[in-house]
Amino acid sequence: MDQNDSKIARNLTDLLMNDWKNIFLSDLGKAYFDSLGDQLIERVNSEKVFPPLASVFQAFNLCSFEDTQVVLIGQDPYHGPGQAHGLCFSVPNGIALPPSLKNIKKELHQDLDVWMNHESGDLTHWAKQGVLMLNTILTVSEDKPGSHAHLGWQQLTSFALDKLNTEKEHLVFLLWGAHAQKLASSIDRNKHLLLEAAHPSPLSANRGGWFGNHHFSKTNEYLLAHDKKPIQWL
C-alpha cells in the first residue's frame, strides 16, 4: 500500500462530502471510523481491495441524505479488477457488464420499453437523481466475495438505513435477492414502498421472480403519487 492509501484509510471521514458526514460522526463517532480505517490498512497491506479507497463512500457522496428518494440495496462490491466504483450493481465505463447488470438492463427494457446504453454499465446518473446505491458492505478483497463482512461496515450501513427509515417519508426501497430482503422487517411499510424481487444474477433470475417485476415503473408511479420527481432510468 502506498502512502496515499494509508492516509485515506486513516482519515475515512475526509472522504464524506455532504450531510452524511455530520450524520455519521454525530452518532457513530470518530472512534468507529478510526477502527475501521485501521482494519482497512491491514487488508490493503496484504491484499488488493476494491473499490479504490477514494471511492468507498461514493454512494453517499453522489446521493445526500436530503436528496435520497430511492434506496437500492446490494451486498458487497464486485471483486474483480476495475469493476467496483462505490455504487452497487454499477461498473465504470469501459468495463464489461456483469451478468446481474445485463439482467437489470433487460428488465428495464421490458418494463419501460427503453434501452440503456448497451456498452456502459455506469449507473452514476441514477445516484445523482436520488437513488442511494448502497452495498451493505463497502469493501472487498480481490476474488473473495464477502471477505470484509466482519470489518464493521454493516454498522454504518444499517445506521444509514435506519436514519432514512425513521426521518424520511415516501422512499422506495428496492430489495433484490435474499440478502437485501432480510432488511425488510426493519423498514416501515406505512411510510415507504418496499419492492422485492429475486436477485438479478442469472442463477436467481432464471429461476423466476426477477423478470417482469416492473420495479422501475412502480418506483416512478409511487414517486409521482407523492409529488416527487421520477427517476430517468436511461
Please report, for the chain, the start and end positions of each structural domain, with discontinuous segments joined by +: 55-225
Residue spans of the chain under pLDDT 70: 1-7, 9, 117-118
For the annotated catalytic residues, the residue numbers are 76
Q: What is the pLDDT of residues 66-122, one digit of tens each?
A: 999 999 999 999 999 999 999 999 999 999 999 999 999 999 999 998 877 667 999
Angle, vertex CA 68, rays to CA 62 and CA 71, nearest 5: 95
What is the distance between the alpha carbons of residues 230 and 210, in angstroms, rounded to a whole number?
22
pLDDT at 227: 98
pLDDT at 115: 76
C-beta of residue 168 within 8 angstroms of C-beta of residue 177: no
What is the distance between the alpha carbons of residues 111 and 206, in angstroms, rounded to a whole number?
17
3-class secondary structure, 105: helix
Query: Residue type at 221?
Result: E
pLDDT at 114: 82
3-class secondary structure, 127: helix
3-class secondary structure, 168: coil
pLDDT at 4: 64
pLDDT at 145: 96
Write down the CATH number for the domain with range 55-225: 3.40.470.10
Q: What is the pTM of this model?
A: 0.95
pLDDT at 147: 96
pLDDT at 1: 47
